[in-house]
Structure 1
């Protein structure tokens, strides 16, 4: 029997086929396992075939989360946000790139958008299937390496710099965008889960670090401070807010260069650029990477950001001086420790134990702490060791 979500996608594909001039097309749809990296949507690979045209290789996302989960673990408007990004915001970004005569190598590359259905609780989004071109995602159980991290933050700098140019050049559209890009998850629900996971994290770290970690959580963590990390500080930019390896696709191009493409634009909103960097490191790095490359990556991001701003005729010293970046880094760095109690158990969990899209009943059900997960314990202890070494706890 055909799954309801597949039927929703098929209906959207039929509409796209007609728009693209594919008469009486053959549709092939295959469900994609989420492997613990996506809980808001059921994912599909799809092909639209027609004898007189090349196949259209597509990637479909169909909403699976109900109203309760939307208020607990993610902004209720994630599907509205992503639709707005693909239908309006990225088009404006492309106009900005063309007006400033950016060479193609400096463009923000995104998947091609084909269509959507906006029916509430049955949202569908159809995009280009990048995997057909050889793009893949990073192994969530492995730490990022320098080449991957450097290429990833270079793309992030493009996104952030374009958002600053957008705020400068399109004030009316910016006002519209900020009404759509609203971060409105229930902080109380998330805070409750955080406190539970913080206690579990304290129990998993080495005994000598438990008192200082518990003191940090007691003194520094509450709903207000958690919410602060997702708001702009010195320099507002439009942040990705879920900038992690599973939302990046990469491949080695014909010139031997690593190419990274940012995907999954459901959680964009105004915030601090540093929030995206801390998310990336929390999800993707281990202690060895941070010991070798943390400061190097912060420098590389800022240098990439400054270069991207200059290409858009913006003065970094005026719109985002290094002093402001360093201030934001100091303020937001503790977020990495706060996030780790949720993130590390999620990314290191046994895939066989992970719920598929739509199966999780609540945000809390996604992030239970397994004391027998040795990789989880190792990563958590490495993060705590970093914060001890940095003098934060």
Structure 2
């Protein structure tokens, strides 16, 4: 969430953010304080707004020293809608997750006396969050960071991330048991914020045309034959969600959106972030998204089955803590079937995120107009990863 920054004055906050920070200062009972506003470096950019950190240092009424590290995601009013996403809805969705749903779920975890180390890991959100600014604890000051999204993820990190994903997917089933009305009114109604149309088709074609040059002629031909159904199938995953949306999905679960803390050079804890695309969908989409964007062919060969098994066992174990039998809400047999029948979604995710994962300058391209206008300038490191995915799908009978 943070890096080296330029220190700015509090006037650099927009009016809404400034008002929210003032409320936090009052609520935290600061009697004297200083406020430093800082801009993250451009490499920590956000597609639909601009990021800032706020450091509040001072004393409380008991004369105790206190310091708050805050992370702000500011909505840019001029960017109300991109051609493939309803941006205001995306901000409202993340605000809902932090201000309401996670807080509700924490009360349920407390009711069932879930140990802290077994709870769903979330960044602390502030109630001053609104549709224009998301305010969170900046966990980078607690030594959390993100790994490079273009690299193959370490196994331990993948295991920790899969365990958290399973818990996130269990949330809807737990809330359904504890508060059926809330589930029907607030969770099942979380529709995807995507807008599918010609612009998305153009974007996919642009990504395909560039990526396929890394393939041999036979593989290239197979990919070209697959492309006509790509848009139709991708929208099925995002909207129809395999015909049976059953839980809350993250919808962008990848290395860039998972904070990690290390111990002795190895991942020891992870916290998922960025819930702007969250909706009521199907768990397989998140699982395949995470695996295919974070792995290469060797990693999948050696670890994919293990991660698949770990996902379901974690899902099963977490639900059991709330007296729910996983087999009754999403059977192991159905899970195995969904996983094996929908591997093509991994290819779609990889293509969709090419410019954001393998941009030549190591930065995500800036959305000025819409997806169809994004410059696609890729580092050659994507080639082996892409060949591996296409080769896997050919061997598995998808291409």
TM-score normalised to structure 1 length: 0.89
Q: Which residue of 2 aligns with 1:29?
A: 37
Unaligned segments of structure 2, at least 5 residues: 1-7
SS in 2 for 1:243: coil
Runs of 4+ off more than 6 Å: 1-5
Contact 2:260 2:267 in 1 (8 A): no
Deviations 1:254-294 (A, max 9, x none): 9x871111111212111111111121123222222112111
Deviations 1:354-377 (A, max 9, x none): 445xx633223446154xx31122
Contact 1:35 1:351 in 2 (8 A): no
Distance change >3 Å, CA 104–CA 355, structure 1 → 2 = same
SS in 2 for 1:304: helix
Q: Which residue of 2 aligns with 1:165?
A: 174
Distance change >3 Å, CA 354–CA 237, structure 1 → 2 = closer
How far, CA to CA, are the matches of 1:329 and 1:62 in structure 2? 37
The answer on 1:49 being equivalent to 2:57 is yes
Distance change >3 Å, CA 109–CA 222, structure 1 → 2 = closer
Contact 2:80 2:87 in 1 (8 A): no
Out of 28, 43, 54, the position equivalent to 1:20 is 28
Deviations 1:179-238 (A, max 9, x none): 7622132110323322332233233322231111111112x3233x22211244456010
Out of 134, 151, 158, the position equivalent to 2:160 is 151
How far, CA to CA, are the matches of 2:267 and 2:370 in structure 1? 41
Deviations 1:126-162 (A, max 9, x none): 1111011111111122110211100001011111112
Q: What is the CA-CA distance between 1:338 and the residue it aligns to?
A: 1.6
Q: Which residue of 1 aligns with 2:222?
A: 212
Q: Which residue of 1 aligns with 2:385?
A: 379
1:132-281 → structure 2 map (5 Å cutoff):
132-178=141-187, 181-188=190-197, 189-218=199-228, 220-223=229-232, 225-230=233-238, 231-233=240-242, 234=244, 236-252=246-262, 258-281=268-291
Q: What is the CA-CA distance between 1:318 and the residue it aligns to?
A: 1.1
Contact 1:237 1:270 in 2 (8 A): yes
Give the aligned CA root-mean-square deviation in angstroms: 2.6
SS in 2 for 1:184: coil
Contact 1:272 1:328 in 2 (8 A): no
The answer on 1:112 being equivalent to 2:124 is yes
Q: Which residue of 1 aligns with 2:4?
A: none
Question: Is 338-347 or 138-147 further displaced after alignment?
Answer: 338-347
Q: Which residue of 1 aligns with 2:322?
A: 312
Distance change >3 Å, CA 378–CA 78, structure 1 → 2 = same
TM-score normalised to structure 2 length: 0.88
How far, CA to CA, are the matches of 1:386 and 1:33 in structure 2? 37
Contact 1:240 1:268 in 2 (8 A): yes
Distance change >3 Å, CA 5–CA 77, structure 1 → 2 = farther
Question: Is 319-328 or 149-158 further displaced after alignment?
Answer: 319-328
How far, CA to CA, are the matches of 1:154 and 1:160 in structure 2? 10
Q: What is the CA-CA distance between 1:7 and the residue it aligns to?
A: 2.9
Out of 92, 102, 113, the position equivalent to 2:114 is 102
How far, CA to CA, are the matches of 1:210 and 1:36 in structure 2? 34
